[in-house]
Amino acid sequence: EAGVAQSPRYKIIEKRQSVAFWCNPISGHATLYWYQQILGQGPKLLIQFQNNGVVDDSQLPKDRFSAERLKGVDSTLKIQPAKLEDSAVYLCASSFGSGGHNEQFFGPGTRLTVL
Amino acid sequence: AQSVTQLDSHVSVSEGTPVLLRCNYSSSYSPSLFWYVQHPNKGLQLLLKYTSAATLVKGINGFEAEFKKSETSFHLTKPSAHMSDAAEYFCVVSVQGGGADGLTFGKGTHLIIQP
């Protein structure tokens, strides 16, 4: 079974530039999550999708971050404009259903460096 | 709101000796609890999960954890450490039920295995 795919794996940009990350979840997984992992910390949830609808985006900095999952499969996360503090690994995860007991499967992440 | 506290940022043990990684949780509702492992430059992998069934949970690679409601703890143990166990370990909580079920991660414990 193919895992969660993410691209690019690495990205270096200057502050105030824009950047986008892509995620392809495991086939058949209805729920998709984006997490931000700052160096030395645990991942923090940014947004959760159920199919193509947003379930929780309470921790997404909406003034600069946006995310979409138009057809209920792939998802993109965008930052515009980027700040130095956005340097982090951005993790995508998916699960078959919703509910806290469902296992989330994580992708390898995209490491963003903002200069 | 839920949270987890990992009591040690670093744990160092000798190969072949027992491992204990400590975690306390806080949750207003019946929680699901997980331990994830993150090897350098690799994605997060689920070690084990507790979802209100047996309080002693067995996971992969010889790890196990015991849910103790009275102590609000979910410590991770392994009888004999192996060099390949060196990694970052995260204690994670999620609330069962409801649509928003993003994971709340602890800050992580870095496990060092001495030869």
pLDDT 10s digits, B69-106: 999 999 999 999 999 999 999 999 986 555 667 788 99
Determine the pLDDT at residue B43. 84
Determine the pLDDT at residue B96. 56
Q: Which of A26-35, B12-21, B61-70, B93-102 has the lowest mean pLDDT?
A: B93-102
> Which residue, B31, B37, B24, is CA-closest to B78?
B37
Q: What's the rounded Cα separation, in Å, for the pair A92 and B113?
A: 29
Mean pLDDT taken over chain A: 93
Asked if residue A15 has pLDDT above 80, the reply is yes
Verify whether the Cβ–Cβ distance A43 to B105 is below 8 Å: yes
Looking at chain B, the whole-number percentage of residues with pLDDT higher than 90 is: 71
> Which of A51, A101, A106 is the best mutation test for B, with the most CBs of B within 10 A?
A101
Chain A positions in Cβ-Cβ contact with residue B46 (cut-off 8 Å): 103-104
Find the residue in A nearest to B5 (Cα).
Answer: A42
Asked if residue B28 has pLDDT above 80, the reply is no
Determine the pLDDT at residue A21. 98
Q: Do strands B56-58 and B10-14 pair parallel, antiparallel, or not at all (unpaired)?
A: unpaired
Decide if B55 contacts B67 (C-beta within 8 A).
yes
Asked if residue B40 has pLDDT above 90, the reply is no
> Regarding predicted confidence, which is higher, A100 or A107?
A107
| Interface residue A115 vs chain B (CB under 8 A) | no
Verify whether the Cβ–Cβ distance B101 to A100 is below 8 Å: yes
Question: Highest mean pLDDT range out of A17-26, B26-35, B44-53?
Answer: A17-26
Report CA Rg, chain A.
13
Chain A positions in Cβ-Cβ contact with residue B104 (cut-off 8 Å): 45
Q: What is the pLDDT of residues A67-99, one digit of tens each?
A: 999 888 999 999 999 999 999 999 999 998 776
Q: What's the rounded Cα separation, in Å, for the pair B11 and B76?
A: 12
Chain center to CA of B53: 17
> Rounded to a whole number, what is the distance in Å from the CA of B49 to chain A's nearest CA?
8
CB proximity under 8 Å: A 3-32 to B: 3-4, 31
